[in-house]
Amino acid sequence: MSDRTVDVWIRVTSQPQVDAAGPEHAGLPADGLDEHERRPRRGFTDPRDAAAYLDLHLLARSEIGRVLRQPPESLRFDRTCPDCGRQHGAPRLLDDPDLHVSLSRSRRVVALAVSRVGPLGIDVEHCAGTAFDGFAAVALHPDERRHAPGSLAATIAWVRKEASLKALRVGLRVDATTFAAPVPGVAARVVVGLPSVTVADVAAPPGYAAAVAVRSTSGDLDVVGH
Ligand SMILES: CC(C)(COP(=O)(O)OP(=O)(O)OC[C@H]1O[C@@H](n2cnc3c(N)ncnc32)[C@H](O)[C@@H]1OP(=O)(O)O)[C@@H](O)C(=O)NCCC(=O)NCCS
């Protein structure tokens, strides 16, 4: 990876591979997963969501392991939530904290981003996810409210914003209507008092939008899709 590289993986997940019995039941390498990654056994009612969740974490271990030349199952993550201390916050790679990681999932599409540029966030969203009355009022800045709910434009604005808030580690604790989506390649301070972020759009399957954001004062990111 070059100094300005952000590596991204977008995948459409396969058919459900897990059921209520959990990953071991499907012969998946559950021993290589930590407790958080096995959560679909308890956290999802729809097995397709559980399968996508598991696929995403397996993808993350596999690709990060390849980058670090370490066995995927040896990787250790800290996900301490700054609000409550539980292990459900942004992942931090204990084996190499300067390699920043972000994950996202929407329906059957999963997204992974990895970079040494700085803390980053990736977000993927199905357009149907923004197709509800009141979306603009809860998600868009007044300058963005021309975008119809469910449109690709509204969904692109949303993923740029959520990726930015993930890069800042605040997530949706910050009201997304307080700022407009950053223009790709232009560093922007979206939250007063926090660092600037630079966003880039990421190619996504039809009906989806994806974006990645990195804490950075410079716009020259080199986004590499895999
Ligand atoms: C981060 C957040 C925007 C993700 O929402 P989402 O659209 O439902 O989910 P995505 O699939 O895009 O991303 C989920 C991933 O974001 C990451 N994540 C979680 N919290 C994060 C944060 N504060 N900043 C950046 N990334 C975060 C995790 O890797 C998570 O993956 P997991 O499901 O394996 O835990 C949302 O969870 C949030 O705003 N969290 C912070 C506020 C909060 O709820 N705090 C908990 C108080 S106890």
The dihedral built from the CA positions of residue 131, 156, 158 and 78, taken in this order, carries a sign that is positive
pLDDT tens for 175-208 read 999 999 999 999 999 999 999 999 999 999 999 9
- The mean predicted confidence, pLDDT, of the chain is 90
For residue 28, pLDDT beyond 70? no
Does residue 83's CB lie within 6 angstroms of at least one atom of ligand 1? yes
What is the dotted CATH code of the domain comprising 5-225? 3.90.470.20
Using DSSP, state whether 28 is helix, strand or coil.
coil
Which of 113, 123, 110, 121 shows the shortest CA–CA distance to 64? 113
**Dist. CA 20 → ligand 1 center (Å):** 23
Residue listed under structure tokens 């963005």:
144
Give the strand order in the sheet containing 100-106. Answer: 100-106, 109-115, 5-12, 222-225
The pTM of this model reads 0.93
Whether ligand 1 lies within 6 angstroms of the CB of 37 is answered as: no
